[in-house]
Amino acid sequence: MIAKIGDQRDVIFSKKVEDLLSTGSKIFFQTHLYPLIKMQGFAKEIYLSFKTQEGETPVLLNICSKANGATTEFFCGGLQISNRNRFEKELLESKKIAEEALAKNSELISVKNDLHAQHVLLEAQNRRLKVMNEQSQDLFKVIAHDLQEPLRKSVMFSSQLLDQNLSEHFNQKVKKVISFNNQVRHMILTLQRYEELEIAPVNFSSVNLQSLIALAIRSLEINLEVEKIEVSYSITCPHFNADAKLLQNLFIELFRNAIKYRKPHDEFLKIEISATVISKNIFFESKERYQYEDFVKITFVDNGNGFDDDSNKIFKIIQRSDQLDLIGIGLAFSRRIVEKHSGSIMAKSIKGKGVGFTILLPKTLKEQNSL
């Protein structure tokens, strides 16, 4: 069998096929391949090793025969095995990339569907929340306005009874009625302010703490000497940024709480207020996150009756007092004021030894950072 390298018009050289093959491939060609081609006229994907200057090159051949007059021509087409391996590897990699892309596309479709379902759920929840907020606002309006009038009339008629020169025992009962009515009216007003606080903006300005506390005391309309109340100060940070009106309301509620739960009237109610600047981590609730900034630390300590309960409970809006069995709104209002300033408030107490409040407010808080 003669191998002609080149096309029919331009034969470069002509040799026996056996001369081009390695020893092993030559034996295979003579004993198996050549008889197979003569018998069936073709052979597909036959592995042969050809001799080259660099050594041996594996080739995968397809061979067919064609009669040409009295002679038979054999046509061969081959692919170097190393190239085939590379082509097969490229095909496998392309297939893998295509399969991964298809899988990712399926995941994206699934995520998109889940996201759409979450958007639908969120929309329904937002509509429900809007309805609940509107109902809550309507309820607060009823409480704030419709309940104020009967309470006002109750106080007015009770005051008229005091002018009737009735017995002292009866007058004491009427005074208690007036006192309880005034307490309820104050709670309703505080509840109204608490609701309004949720949407009210925080107007920051430089405030003078001691002057602000003095305004809070005047707003309470009490005489410190007559009421046997001593207020002492230790303020090393008199000026910082805050909403003056809200902070005044905060101290009004703290004073109300101290007066409400003071010890018997024959003892002086002592209140100590201090303020200083400390460096504190701004991430109160997050673990392993740290960023230290300046905070104004305010302490408000009294020597009243105190309490034994969990200190966190006193800041809840639905929390009944052991002494008067009334819902405590004032301290919940106080905590919300502090939260509007992106601060925190804590309370510690020992029964019979008073209450200590610790308030932390960012010293240079900007308006856009408020809650």
Residue 149 domain-assigned (yes or no): no
Residue 350 sits in a domain of what CATH number? 3.30.565.10
Give 310's pLDDT tier (boundaries 50, 70, 90): low
Q: Which residue has the higher pLDDT, 152 or 221?
A: 221
**344 and 207 fall within a common domain:** yes
pTM of structure:
0.55
335: pLDDT strictly greater than 80? yes
Residue 139 domain-assigned (yes or no): no
> How far apart (Å, rounded) are the C-alpha atoms in residues 41 and 72?
10
Residue 196 domain-assigned (yes or no): no
Give 323's pLDDT tier (boundaries 50, 70, 90): very low
Maximum average pLDDT range among 169-173, 291-295, 298-302: 298-302
Q: Which of 59, 85, 111 is the last residue of a domain?
A: 85
Residue 141 domain-assigned (yes or no): no
> How far apart (Å, rounded) are the C-alpha atoms in residues 276 and 235?
6
Residue 73 domain-assigned (yes or no): yes
2: pLDDT strictly greater than 60? no
Residue 36 sits in a domain of what CATH number? 3.30.450
Give 331's pLDDT tier (boundaries 50, 70, 90): confident
Q: What is the pLDDT of residues 216-268, one digit of tens each?
A: 999 988 888 888 899 999 999 888 999 999 999 999 999 988 988 888 776 78
Count how many domains the chain has.
2
Average pLDDT of every residue of the chain: 80
Helix (H) or strand (E) holding 61: strand 55-68
Residue 90 domain-assigned (yes or no): no
Angle at 308 between CA 325 and CA 299, to 5 degrees: 100
Tokens for 85, please give them: 């391996």
Share of the chain above pLDDT 70, in %: 84
> How far apart (Å, rounded) are the C-alpha atoms in residues 32 and 36?
6
Q: Which of 32, 66, 85 is the last residue of a domain?
A: 85
CA end-to-end span of the chain, whole Å?
94
212: pLDDT strictly greater than 90? yes
Residue 164 domain-assigned (yes or no): no
Please name the residue ranges forming H helices in the chain: 17-20, 23-28, 34-40, 81-141, 148-162, 168-197, 209-219, 244-260, 330-340
> How far apart (Å, rounded) are the C-alpha atoms in residues 222 and 189?
19
SS3 for 43? strand
Residue 143: exposure state from Cβ atoms within 10 A (0-12, 13-18, ≥19): middle
Mean pLDDT, residues 158-186 taken together: 80
Mean pLDDT, residues 31-53 taken together: 83
**207 and 339 fall within a common domain:** yes
Kindly state the DSSP code that residue 284 receives in the 8-state scheme: S
**216 and 354 fall within a common domain:** yes
pLDDT of residue 295: 92
**Angle in degrees, 0-180, between the axes of helices 168-197 and 330-340, rounded to the nearest 10:** 20
> How far apart (Å, rounded) are the C-alpha atoms in residues 205 and 212?
12
Q: How far is CA 248 from CA 26, 74, 164, 245, 253, in A?
A: 106, 107, 39, 5, 9
Residue 76 domain-assigned (yes or no): yes
Q: Which of 85, 102, 132 is the last residue of a domain?
A: 85
Tokens for 302, please give them: 């009294």
Length of the chain in residues, anyone? 371
Domain range for 287: 203-369
Give 144's pLDDT tier (boundaries 50, 70, 90): low
Kindly state the DSSP code that residue 144 receives in the 8-state scheme: I
> How far apart (Å, rounded) are the C-alpha atoms in residues 247 and 24?
100
